[in-house]
Amino acid sequence: MDGVTTLVGQGLYMAVAAVFGLAIARVLGRDNTLGCLIAGVLAGMLLPVLDYDTGLRAENLHQLVFFVILPVLIFGSAWKIDPQTLVRWLGPIILLATLGVVICMLLTAVLVYFGINHPEGFPWLAALLTGAILAATDPVAVVTRLRAGHANEGLLTLVEGESLFNDAAAIVLFSFVLGIATHSVMEGSNPTGEPIAGAWAFVVYFSAVFFGGLAIGAICGLLTAIVILFIASAGAALMLLVLAAFGSFYLAEHVVGVSGILSVMVCAIVARACLREQHETFLVHAEPTWEWLELLFNALIFVIMGLVITFEMFSHQWLAIVIGIAAALGARALAISMLAPLARFVGPPVPKSWRLVLSWGGLRGVIAVALVLSLPTELPYWWTVQSIVFGVVLFSLLVQGTSSTRLIRKLGL
């Protein structure tokens, strides 16, 4: 019973810090994520005074992030996208979110690896992990401003859809590289930290988890919609949708062994498409539910980031952080400039002004933080990778997020 009491106390402590963070954001007139980050730092400073242990450990953060937080965030984001508009822009979205993510990851990894230039302390695997984490974008601030300005629905769908799909692809890449890294550490089979899997192994793995996740998600989404229509109750519909978010992830990840994130994403899209005629009956109640769930889990992620962030990260790793920021911005810009002109071959063309929004608006946020928090401390370079990612996320919040309004206004979007 003491374990349950402790767990509830820890959850309440972080939830109160999250609410305090929302209040800070309101006072400062900034995004909620920044306010929750500040609240997390303050909550961390209070811990020694209160003689309190949050219970946050590297070994349980991975489970918390992947089995509790990410399913809600991915399902909620996918639920917002209009299926009909998504179908029209699906070609460019998949192009940017598959090939674009791989290019972004590799470019970031190369730039960070040669920028840091310390193969013993920061090997190729560390650079690839950094690249995979920073390939995931979170353009919440940009989307909020676009919606407030009644921007083109196609632009909104492209920005949201590309971010959602590339989050899923980046998480698959991260899981693959992390599997290699942890195997080399645990087994000692690769003491230099060099990649041990060939290109063919990667293609087979990526294809299996990618398409397997899509299939499981489609089945779960279809079954969810059928059960909701059969029960015909708004309350039951909300319960089933939340259950589908966690259940589709668990089924794909644990039972079948494919991508749980892709499964959650497709489950939400298919369920929304099947229930589109029932908006006034069921879906009108679902939207506020996912809105507050996303707000809560976004806030908790940045509170946790504030709790674990330290001044030493920036005083000791400042050069690595600067290199990471430059690499993330450069890789994203190059990937968009290379692939956006090809979008006309798989769907509608992407205007040049939209490419600027996709490039500069590709903020690193909650997904990047969630992934880096799940890094095992057995990896000798985990602290360097975490410092780089935290630095890039702070740059996104303080610079990219705040300047995106001026960019959108200047482009007349």
Sequence-separated (6 or more) residues with CB below 8 Å from residue 132: 105, 170, 173, 174, 177, 371
pLDDT > 70? residue 245:
yes
The pLDDT of residue 195: 44
8 Å CB contact between 354 and 339:
no
pLDDT confidence band for 141 (50 / 70 / 90):
low
Same domain, 12 and 142: no
pTM (2 decimals)? 0.82
The half-sphere exposure of 297 on its side-chain side, counting CA atoms within 13 A, is 22
Same domain, 154 and 27: no
Same domain, 74 and 197: yes
Query: Which of 55, 77, 92 is where one domain is finished?
Result: 55
Mean of pLDDT values over 155-177: 84
Same domain, 90 and 152: yes
**What average pLDDT does the structure give for the chain?**
83
Same domain, 170 and 26: no
Same domain, 219 and 173: yes
Mean of pLDDT values over 124-139: 90
Same domain, 282 and 324: yes
Please tell me which residue, 284 or 46, carries the higher pLDDT value: 46
pLDDT > 80? residue 6:
no
Same domain, 5 and 78: no
Most distant pair of Cα atoms in the chain: their distance: 60
pLDDT 10s digits, 176-206: 888 888 875 444 444 444 444 455 666 777 7
Same domain, 75 and 147: yes
Sequence-separated (6 or more) residues with CB below 8 Å from residue 408: 142, 145, 146, 149, 151, 357
Q: How far apart are CA 171 and CA 155, in angstroms?
A: 24
The pLDDT of residue 400: 83
Same domain, 239 and 327: yes
CATH of residue 278's domain is: 1.20.1530.20
Please tell me which residue, 401 or 388, carries the higher pLDDT value: 388
Q: How far apart are CA 247 and CA 177, in angstroms?
A: 25
If DSSP codes are grouped into helix, strand and coil, which group holds residue 254?
helix
Query: Which of 34, 55, 76 is where one domain is finished?
Result: 55
Same domain, 133 and 200: yes
Q: How far apart are CA 251 and CA 259, in angstroms?
A: 10
State the residue range of the domain holding 47: 1-55
H or E segment and range at residue 99: helix 90-116
Q: ∠ at Cα 74 (242, 278), nearest 5°?
A: 50
The pLDDT of residue 406: 78
Q: How far apart are CA 47 and CA 51, in angstroms?
A: 6
Query: Which of 55, 72, 99 is where one domain is finished?
Result: 55
pLDDT > 70? residue 88:
yes
Selection from 317, 401, 385, 315 nearest residue 137 by Cα:
401
The pLDDT of residue 282: 65
The pLDDT of residue 112: 95
Same domain, 17 and 149: no
Q: How many domains are contained in the chain?
A: 2
pLDDT 10s digits, 40-50: 889 888 877 77
The pLDDT of residue 54: 64
Lowest average pLDDT, out of 163-167, 276-280, 341-345, goes to 276-280
pLDDT 10s digits, 146-156: 776 666 777 88
Q: How far apart are CA 83 and CA 81, in angstroms?
A: 6
Residue ranges of alpha helices (H) inside 188-259 are: 199-231, 234-250
